[in-house]
Structure 1
Amino acid sequence: MTVSNVLRGMLMACVLSAGVTPLSFAGSSEQFHLTIPTINQEVEIDGDFNEAVWQQAAEVTLKYETSPGENIAAPVTTSAKVFASKSSLYFAFIAHDPAPEQIRVNLRDRDKSWGDDMVGIKLDTFNNARLAYQFFINAYGVQSDSIENELTGQESDAWDGIWYSKGKLTDKGYQVEIQLPLRLFNFDDRHPLQTWGIELIRFYPRNKTHRFSTHKIDRNVSCQLCQLGTATGLEGATQGKDLQITPSLVANQNNQRDASNAGPWDDKTHVEAGVDLRWGITPTTLLNATINPDFSQIEADAGQLDVNNTFALFFPEKRAFFLDNKDYFDTQLELLHTRNISSPDYGIKLTSKTDDHTFAMLAANDEQSQFLVPGNLSSDIAVIDEQSHNVATRYRFDPSKQFSIGGLVTLKQANDYHNYLASADIKYQPTKQDTLTAQYAHSQTAYPEDLFTQFCNNNDCNQDLADCQFGNCALNERVLRTNKEDEFDDGMLNVTYLHERRNWYASSQYQSIGRDFRADLGFIDKVDVNKFVIGGGYMWYPQDNFFNRIELGGDWDISHSENHELLEQEAEMFIEFEGGLQSYMASGIVQRKRVGRRHNPSISDIDNNTTMFDETLAWFYTNLTPIGSLKLELDMYLGDDIDFANNRSATVNMFNPGVEWKLTESLVLDVSHRYQTLDVDDGRLFTANLSDVRLNWQLTLNSFIRFSTVYTHIERDPALYLYQKPDSLYQDLGNELLYGYKLNPQSVFYLGYSDAFVANDDIDSLTQDEKTYFMKVSYAWLL
């Protein structure tokens, strides 16, 4: 039976089951119910509740502690008032505290106040347990918002809406006032009364982080959005015009030079105007468009150490245009990763949800064609110096609360290159403890005839293959995967099953990725792999103990190439603890065998062409907050590894401590350092250090000064390298100083400076080779 027939059978079985399963999988009034009155008055968001309209608002109490206590009575009182106008939802929270001096609150940038005392709102505007908006506010009114996606099980705080809040400390605790304009939300305004899923939440961090809620949360139910309560009301609610136009002006001066001879600077100045459009065509349909966008990174990526690694590094998306309603495109696989669209001149995106149907479309050009070249032992980024056109379209149908079926199509195309992908996926929950997901994708790709040449070692692709052995061969796996004369195609299948209960869970996964499958608008870094995983765990919830949650678990997996050649077999056991000092600790041991690099890189064979290595690795991770102003973190592992540069056994030690120190309520220092060594039989192959230091001074709720520096220092012993002679020393240093003023997430002013330094065997000391001055101003007109 073919893969497509298997998938077709699974789809049919799930559809038939979905039609007859009498289970409720969305917000329920049995959990909690709130009737929101509509009052045609507005209030000033100032943190006080002096207006008479608040006396007419609905009032509710957060009665329950859902974590670490399991639906016990909340130890402190939290009340909230709610009402709606024709254009906004209003909330007022009063958070009582018997010891107000212990309230944890800091002046931070948006989405950076986690760990503070805060209150929050979770809203599912379609009440179908698919997506929920989340809004959290600390006692100073600092905002954090995100989208929770039940399909992927992830929360994304990259989404930023324009809403309003004000908080203030009182002698009895703190209080927060909030306005959520209805233009924020996608919802169906054809109904005279709305029914939304809702939960009101308070986080109370002391020795442990206590979570309070309006209703009980059943730990025996795996779905979180299924356990929302309901809110009815918002009579006659509409989004209004919901038109936002954001013009912007960007200017930068970039200076570069050759650091090896400290040559003259090459200066380039760039000034460009652009405009973004955000139009709510209907309350359920949103159009985003951008012309000449500034898609530069305002905030530097976190430092990553790329050493003894054969696969490309992953960097998350941060650009606002791609993040708005990003969740509408999400599937279980990373088939759309928009950082593969690096420098667009324009973009357009349409997202819509009506009844049980969700649709999303994205189109953008790119000044170049950038994509990932995957393999089963390595991957890398390829770049074609040609403009490309990029399109992604997603559709999802939710015929019942238990069942979703969807499709995704992506296109990336340049002159002599294209990648087309089509995918179908399902999610089925036959019970509140069981979840089945499946996804199949098929791609069709054509590469330029000379694409493989950019991956040839020493730029020599004509070496005699009879002399091609590991270490002295111009060819490698990326050459094998890109040296294609004709169009090629292949498929990918992923099936997972998860059973979750209060005290235990079990899961399994099967994934098959064909050797010629490509997802060039996504991030699939392995192909020519079949992998099977099975695992599970057991949880305890001790009472009156330092630890309030303990989990013991593990899994076993095995991977083969498409020719049934063993790539890796791994078993892992771990234990996790959550408890006092807001602590989380986890430790585990991994026993595996896996292959190294190919002896003869000119052929893709694994058997008789690789060495199988046995490894035992132990790891440990913890983070804790011993005092309110100090958070400590440690990640470490040690044991066996592979020296990929020389294809031999090695021993690795990795030590990665981190500190977040709130020096004052507005000044925060984040420091992390990664120390890694690799030893072989004859000595230490390399010692690598990466330091990442970030200092943030939040001047007001709207303005900040931020400094960051990332320093990499790698020392190697060239005498221990068998096939190459790398530099004995490599250093680089990147710095950034940024002033920012945010009236809201889209109305901003940035002024900054960044530079870069490098050193190696030919450059005795750190020498500056790049510096940039930049400015951006934008303003969101809400019409």
Structure 2
Amino acid sequence: MNKTFTIQTLCYAILLASSAISTPASAGDPSQFTVNIPTLSQGVEIDGDLSEPQWQQATTVQLNYETSPGENIPAPVSTDAKIFATETSLFVAFIAHDVDPSKIRANLRDRDNSWGDDQVGIKLDTFNNARLAYQFFINPYGVQNDSIENELTGEESDAWDGIWYSSGKLTDQGYQVEVELPLRLFNFDDNKDIQTWGIELVRFYPRNETHRISSHKIDRNVSCQLCQLGTATGLAGAQQGQDIQITPSVVGSRNSQRELNPNQPWEDEDNVEVGLDLRWGITPTTLLNATINPDFSQVEADSGQLDVNNNFALFYPEKRAFFLDNKDYFDTQLSLLHTRNISSPDYGVKLTSKTDDHTLAVLAANDEKTQFLVPGNLSSDVATIDEESYNLAARYRFDPSKELSFGGLVTAKQSENYHNYVASLDTKWQPTDQDTFTAQYVFSDTEYPEDFFQQFCNGDDCSTPPQDCELGNCDYNERVLRTKKQDNFSDNMYRVSYEHEKRNWRAFSRYESIGEDFRADLGFIERIDASKFVAGGNYYWYPTDSFFNKIEFGGDWDITHNQNNEKIEQEAEAAIRLNGGWQSYIASGFVHKDRVGRRQDSSSLAIDDNTTMYTLDLMWFYTNFVPIESLKLEFDMNYGDDIDYANDRPATLTMFNPGVEWKITESIILDVNHKYQALDVDEGRLFTANLTDLRLNWQITLNSFLRLTSVYTDIERDTDLYLHQSPNEQYQNLGNEILYGYKLNPQSVFYLGYSDGLIANDDIDSLTQKDKTYFMKVSYAWLL
């Protein structure tokens, strides 16, 4: 494969596959639960007041079952839901009764941040095929949480943000919530006279335990959750309407930077950007997103992470709105599309479509710079090429039945002297309610610039690592050898897995093989040149009338070799996990493994006779619990054997990570996490690292907030114990951000903020400000 292997060829193959014809699969079961949704001529005002006559004509449903921790037992409190539709909106109201309304947990929070409060909500599968479900939850003050549940990955993503309306209020008997869900939110077939959707109505009732209350029973002996939705019929004449959203934005910033050694004056750069986003529902099942000169600034700071004695690149989640809309349509079992690899686009376009059992998604964007992950089997890191790149991803999925699905994904990342093309096929088969088979095959073709490898070394001979290579985090020899390529190179990756899950036990196995020349530069595949086999299982108990309501014991065994069958790692782990009172989760385990250290001969990628195999024993413990309503405590700890990767020798790791979430008032919350990590070798303490992440949020109203973020890192090293390098004895970094925000909805926002960064090291004896930024953003979503 070479450059004649074009993006157009890949797209054409996908479009041919999408011409397959099938009978739509039905997943929701009327025997579980069924509700008929009447269509009325007029909606209601969303104000939390349920006195309008339309609510008297709505269908009323009772949420009678507790599905967790109780197993389909009578609900501890009564909840009534009312539901009706107009031709353009779905209206839902909840009347949540409480035996002691004074214990209702309700807080003013930003969107998607009120989990842990009392909540009511609805799950909707608009194609009724158990593939994707929209989820909408609301706390007693009307704070919104929305997400999408993806059956293929088994995950829920709150990254999606729809524009919908809610209001709530406390009452003498509990609380009530009123919701309007415009039909323009959904993909569905509005050519049908009567709709049939999958549905579940849910209430979360957090007290000593978090009770999940549902409109119907959930069978723990069935591994598929979306297969257990009930059905909603009706919505006669439902129309998505004219679904056009135009969102102009203006972003202004002043960024100031300076060199600190020696101290230099500030260099200021002012920037004003005008952008435009378009969201157009071409049909009720096809959505077009386009953006010109977009604002992709990170409004919210990433969570702090310690990057010390770690050979692999850190993962940061996507937060940008353009990439998040219908993101789930691109998902496969492997992380082949991680859009933070498109870091600075000028424009982008995305088309997503779902009709019955066919799903198609296409994304294209440029990038002012080319950024991607350089993987290996002992290390990985992020690399850049100073060229504009063009990026494309296309996904097709065919679901002939609720038990079987097939999919394909292609990605392409290309600049003048570089390209990476990836093509993948995947399948998922659930022959019974308990058994799941998955398989995926991926092929890649890549070309690097001739001098690309030199960014991982000093000088042409690459005899020493680059000066900015963080000690213990940069196996530069592997990266040089992986990137010193003269021509195109290609390879493949595949994974097969099987899982059997019943009420009381689960067994699983997985095998994957990744070639040494495989690359997925638009994804997040950090390990290559490896084959891994995993097998394990779990057993579950569900005690009643005791502090713990669920106990899980299990473990797994895995072994990893490179493609020359040289062993890299072998690991066995056993763990116990408990859920119980105080909304508690407790887990602890023991790990025994053999693991190689860094390579001794930098000119070879061999493992045998080129690395030392270390035997490591490690214990870990994690818990979180809510001792009182306003306080959530968290603690994570590791202690045991480790490897000093900077010096290739055995070490002892001590790590603990406490966290506190304190709801000071119903509108002010303080979230503090601290991570302490120390590594000891025979000669003494090699390093001590501390990271403190502090976030104070004041939710002034439902629409406005003030947020303060401060992330502090402090690393102390004993330089006499480093055998090959001379690191800083002291390193400190402090990043601060203060942000005011007003959100009319997720796309109509006003932000005003300030951020700065301070550092200290052996040459700068105290924290000194290195950069500072003032910024403002205004955007408004016009709904046509």
1:522 counterpart residue number: 523
Whole-Å separation in 2 of the counterparts to 1:758 and 1:522: 32
Structure 1 equivalent of residue 279 of structure 2? 278
Between the aligned partners of 1:358 and 1:224, the Cα distance in structure 2 is: 20
Partner residue of 2:9? none
Q: Which amino acid aligns with 2:265?
A: P
What pairs with 1:416-495 in structure 2 (closer than 5 Å)?
416-456=417-457, 458-461=458-461, 463=463, 476-495=477-496
Equivalent-residue separation in structure 2 for 1:262 and 1:698 (angstroms): 40
Match of 2:558 in 1: 557
Is the contact between residue 740 and residue 749 of structure 1 (CA under 8 Å) also seen in structure 2? yes
SS at match of 1:492: strand
Hey, what does 2:780 align to over in structure 1? 779
In structure 1, give the amino acid aligned to 2:461.
C
Per-residue deviation, 1:261: 2.3
Name the counterpart of 1:640.
Answer: 641
Alpha-carbon displacement from aligned partner over 1:654-703 (angstroms, at most 9, x marks no partner): 00000000000000000000000000000000000000000000000000
Structure 2 contact 240–284 (Cα < 8 Å) conserved = yes
Q: Distance in 1 between matches of 2:389 and 2:776?
A: 28
Unmatched 5+ stretches in structure 2? 1-20, 466-470
Rounded Cα–Cα distance in structure 2 between residues aligned with 1:76 and 1:341: 48
1:251 corresponding residue in structure 2: 252
Pairing of 1:127-146 with structure 2 (within 5 A): 127-146=128-147
Assess if the C-alpha contact under 8 Å between 2:24 and 2:401 holds in 1. Answer: no
Letter in 1 for 2:378: L
- Structural mapping, 1:157-556, within 5 Å: 157-456=158-457, 458-461=458-461, 463=463, 476-556=477-557
Residue 461 of structure 1 and its aligned partner are, at CA, apart by: 2.5
CA displacement, residues 303-322 of structure 1 (integer Å, 9 cap, x when unaligned): 00000000000000000000
2:366 & 2:527 partners in 1: Cα distance? 26
Q: Which residue of 2 aligns with 1:592?
A: 593
State the alpha-carbon separation in 2 of the partners of residues 451 and 253 from structure 1.
33
Q: State the AA in 2 paired with 1:673.
A: H
- CA distance in structure 1 between the partners assigned to 2:759 and 2:459 by the alignment: 24
Local SS of the residue matching 1:519: coil
User: Using the alignment, how far apart are the partners of 1:690 and 1:288 within structure 2?
Assistant: 39
Amino acid paired to 1:394: R
Gap change, CA 1:462 and 1:680, over 3 Å in 2: closer
Contact 1:279 1:286 in 2 (8 A): yes
Decide whether the 8 Å contact of 1:349 with 1:362 is kept in 2.
yes
Distance (whole Å) between structure 2 residues aligned to residue 189 and residue 478 of structure 1:
53
**Equivalent position of 2:15 in the other structure:** none
Shift of 1:459: 3.8
- Which residue identity does 1:768 align to in structure 2? Q
Amino acid in the other structure paired with 2:707 = R
Contact 1:23–1:431 under 8 Å retained in 2: no
Write the distance in 1 (CA, Å) between the matches of 2:641 and 2:560.
19
Cα deviation, 1:130-159, whole Å, max 9, x if unaligned, reads: 000000000000000000000000000011
SS at match of 1:48: coil
Between the two proteins, the alignment pairs up a number of residues equal to 759
Q: Which residue of 2 aligns with 1:603?
A: 604
**3-state secondary structure, aligned to 1:183:** helix
Structure 2 CA distance, aligned partners of 1:232 and 1:352?
Answer: 23
* Whole-angstrom distance in 2 between the partners of 1:447 and 1:672: 40
CA distance in 1, matches of 2:584, 2:773: 41
TM-score by length of 2: 0.95
Question: How far did 1:27 drift?
Answer: 1.0
Deviations 1:111-130 (A, max 9, x none): 00000001010000000000
2: CA distance, partners of 1:508 / 1:409:
27
Taking the TM superposition and a 5 Å limit, the aligned residue runs for 1:52-201 are 52-201=53-202
Is the contact made by 1:105 and 1:140 (CA closer than 8 Å) also made in structure 2? Answer: yes
Letter in 1 for 2:773: T
* Paired letter, 2:735: G
Match of residue 618 from structure 2: 617
The answer on whether the counterparts of 1:152 and 1:330 sit within 8 Å (CA) in structure 2 is yes
The aligned counterpart of 2:16 is none
CA contact (8 A) 1:742 1:749 kept: yes
2:766 alignment partner, SS class: strand
Q: Distance in 2 between matches of 1:429 and 1:695?
A: 45
CA shift in 2, pair 1:23/1:226, >3 Å: farther
Give 1:462 deviation, angstroms. Answer: 5.4
SS of aligned partner of 2:621 = strand
1:520-541 CA distances to partner (integer Å, 9 max, x unpaired)?
A: 0000000000000000010000
Would the aligned equivalents of 1:25 and 1:402 in 2 still touch at CA under 8 Å? no
Q: Which secondary structure state, in structure 2, belongs to the residue aligned with residue 452 of structure 1? A: helix
What's 1:666 paired with? 667
Counterpart for residue 714 of structure 1: 715
8 A contact 1:195–1:232 mirrored in 2:
yes
TM-aligned CA deviation for residue 260 of structure 1? 2.1
Cα drift, residue 262 of structure 1 = 2.5
Question: Which amino acid is the alignment partner of residue 701 of structure 1?
Answer: L
Hey, what does 2:12 align to over in structure 1? Answer: none
2:658 counterpart SS class:
strand
Q: Deviations over 1:297-340 (max 9, x none)?
A: 00000000000000000000000000000000000000000000
1:356, distance to aligned residue in structure 2 (A): 1.1
SS of residue paired to 1:406:
strand
Give SS of 2:690's match: strand
Quote the offset at 1:613 in angstroms: 0.3
- Separation (CA, whole Å) in 2 of partners of 1:521 and 1:228: 35
Tell me by how many angstroms 1:401 deviates. 1.1
SS in 2 for 1:764: coil
When residues 474 and 330 of structure 1 are mapped into structure 2, their CA distance, relative to the original with a 3 A threshold, is closer
Query: Is contact 1:259-1:758 (8 Å) kept?
Result: no
Deviations 1:195-215 (A, max 9, x none): 000000000000000000000
**In 2 relative to 1, CA 239–462 (structure 1 residues): closer, same or farther, beyond 3 Å?**
closer
Q: TM-score if structure 1 supplies the norm length?
A: 0.96
Aligned twin of 1:16 = none
User: What secondary structure does 1:696 align onto?
Assistant: strand
One-letter amino acid of the counterpart of residue 775, structure 1 = M
- Residues 60 and 106 of structure 1: CA distance in aligned 2, closer, same or farther (over 3 Å): same
* Structure 1 runs not aligned, ≥5 long: 1-18
CA distance in 2, matches of 1:355, 1:714: 55
**Separation in 1, partners of 2:606, 2:82:** 66
1:42 CA displacement: 1.4
Cα offsets for 1:181-233 (capped at 9, x unmatched): 00000001111110000000000000000000000000000000000000001
The amino acid that maps onto 1:518 is: R
In the TM superposition, what is the alpha-carbon distance from 1:602 to its structure 2 partner?
Answer: 1.4
| Residue 445 (structure 1) shift | 0.2
Note closer, same or farther for the CA distance 1:106–1:92 as it changes in structure 2 (3 Å cut): same
Cα deviations across residues 222-267 of structure 1 (Å, max 9, x unaligned)? 0000000000011111111100000000000000001222210010
Report the CA distance shift for 1:206/1:723 in structure 2 as closer, same or farther (over 3 A): same
State the partner residue of 1:574. 575
Q: Given that residues 357 and 399 in structure 2 are in contact (C-alpha distance below 8 angstroms), is that contact kept between their aligned partners in structure 1?
A: yes
Q: Match of 1:262, as an amino acid?
A: N
In angstroms, what is the RMSD of aligned CA positions?
Answer: 1.7
Whichever residue aligns with residue 110 of structure 2, its letter is D
Q: Distance in 1 between matches of 2:63 and 2:667?
A: 30
Percent of pairs identical after alignment?
Answer: 72
Change (3 A) 1:267 1:561: same
1:571/1:592 contact within 8 Å kept = yes
Contact 1:709 / 1:736 at 8 angstroms: preserved in 2?
A: yes
Alpha-carbon deviation of 1:26? 1.6
Corresponding letter in the other structure for 1:53: Q
